[in-house]
Structure 1
Amino acid sequence: MGSRKHVFRRLAVAVSCGVLAAAGGVAGTGPVAAAPAPADQSAQLELMTRLHTLTAAEGLRGFAGSAFDPDGRTVRVYWAGDQPSTLRTFASRLRSGVTLSVVSVPYNQEQIVARARALIKTAKLRGIPIGAVSSTSDLRGLHADVEPSATAEQRAELRRLGATEITEAGAMVPLARYSDSAPFWGGAVIERPGPVSGSFAHCSTGFAARTSSGTVGMLTAEHCGANRDWTTPTVLGLSSVPVGRSNAGHATTDSMLITNRSYSAFLYRGDWSSGTGRQITSRSGPSIDQKVCAGGGMSGEVCNATVHRINVVGPNGAGPGYFARTSSSSVPLAGQGDSGGPGFAVAVSNGNITALGIVSSAYLTDRATSCTGGTSNPWNNSVPARECFYNVHFINVTAIEAALGVSVMTIS
């Protein structure tokens, strides 16, 4: 069910911003051409949500990744090693019209991520300007990005080190709703003091999560600033509201938990000025060709995005995650100030929200000429040199949950 939270509107902010933290889910706003109706992936999304729950509950180790076929009724699951009887039973009991196709691959997800990190480490030691590394689309090899400065010899060396595919990409950069109040939601702008007096670093909230001891907090990106006090931004003379304090975080999954206030399993929907939202109903991992959204606080919600790479490890080791992108003829997916914001899927059949990841970084080569909403979005005017991107790296919520010892909160 939808919900309305605030009477405050997102208005122009006078901010001295010397620092912007990682970008996260960006939402659409402003005069943009209508996007085609998204394919109905509701049945596929439900299947994968159930499968991720099963693999976690049973401790199954062979899962490598998944992909959605365009028919809307078939999911390909890549599995390393023998298929357990639990998986075969699960496949045999699927509801009519939904098909699970299991494809055998040499490595499971943990092994793929370990190989990607090893490749990045070795490449850096040898001076190769490497970017992100992920599995190939068939999940049988490694796909490596290199900066344009990489020589032919360095690219050949990458292949010898195990890269099956190599593409060029520029350096990756991290990407910081603003009048939120307790209980805090995902997709809101938060700020902390920057390194220069009078400056602020901005990020976005992701998903509410609960620790094993029962403490409730809010996820965001670790690169935004661990062990810091966070508030809502000061806007039009309004006093900022404490959002909480971040913990030490986990650099490998670029995630941390903000606690000490109250938080809700809702996230903002709509553009940068929206005061309405919807509850999170489930959590899952991403699938290739899955339609997804991002919801960073500065950009708002953008849903015309597709997952095109999974098992992604960034050049700084952050992951595993996924790359999702919008087309260059569409609106950018996320921008600076959106870091830590939610990445999610929306079921066409009922509007239910599935948490998938949080925004971490983006390639400079996928930079847009303008940010979502143009001059109608005051964040694009208030934050100096704000940049937005079509192709964005998200960290999987399933990896974050394991690293931080938390569970993303959902409401049935």
Structure 2
Amino acid sequence: MDPSDLQDVLDSVRDFIRTEVVPAEEQIEADDAVPERIVAQCRSMGLYGFTIPEQYGGLGLTVSEEVRLAFELGWTTPALRSLFGTNNGIAGHVLMEGGTEEQKAEWLPKLASGEVTASFGLTEADAGSDPSSLATRAVRDGDEWVLNGSKRYITNSPVADVIMVFAKTNPDVAGNRGISTFLVPKGTPGLSIGPKDHKMGQFGAWTADVYLDDVRVPASALVGGPDGVDTGFVTAAKCLAHGRLHIAAVCVGMADRLVHESVEFAKTREQGGKPIARFQLVQGLIADSVTDHRAGRGLVLDAARGFDAGTDRVSGPATAKYFCSEMVGRVADRAVQVHGGAGYMRGVTVERFFRDARLFRIYEGTSQIQQVIIARDALGKAARA
């Protein structure tokens, strides 16, 4: 995208977030839902398809451009990004990375416009960071595949129009092999969605269990067509690597907001007749958070350049996601500390963000999984049995 066009997009998103979304944050928290007027604005602004190629109706942002947009999205409640995050991220990228031309032509324009919301159905009760223990099965029956199993914590599943379901198609092979991906539309007989999860934070971002009971889909629902058999893990790994950079950038945006909230509070909150901003121990908390934020931002931008260049699509995203998800937790903790007792009260932004930030260290691969990826990339064969 032309730099001036990108700046126009960033400016419009920044204005939208600060004037429309931030004032609605408490309503979103209380209702556990994003108002429909905001959802409609997101569709009209193209936010459901900013990573989807232009030929399919999206904005076609590079990863370096996308992370700058994610910095803006991170300024507000994660529920906003969650509306369209799966379309642009792990679910949409299933098609971009592994879909046939026919599948891309059918689904990507609908994802880009927001007509369709997609979910990424990988995680199970006993399979998340390690998909080798995936229990969901898909068995070929003539011109159809029959799916049985269940998925857990699936983002947007209560409103999803299509779910990218990962299932074992060859249970006889070990490890991460023998996994395939299927497009399962809403309303398919045997597909059902559990009640919305009641989470610690990130209210308005819906997750739920997904159940598949003899779900029949045509052979054309296999992502990648006949060549897509047993390629699901490779596709998932590519989707998650991209998603890790996006999540890292969102964490940077949230850290930026938390620094802002801490600075403004320290300037106005008085103790002993003077603002607490004069106290050096408070200054130390602020300085650490400013440094953390700037370090995270620099790391994300560097990792995004490596991703776009194709020189590092493994360790770079992992280091960015690991550092930034841990970093925003530290910044949130300091923000609560700067606010004192007020920071522990519901209705105060930093209290809400403290709860919201905790999840970033878990999804798109836990911090511990990122450590394994980073270490194995650095150590090579010496780190593997």
Same fold, TM-score > 0.5, yes or no = no
Higher strand share: 1
TM-score (norm 1): 0.26
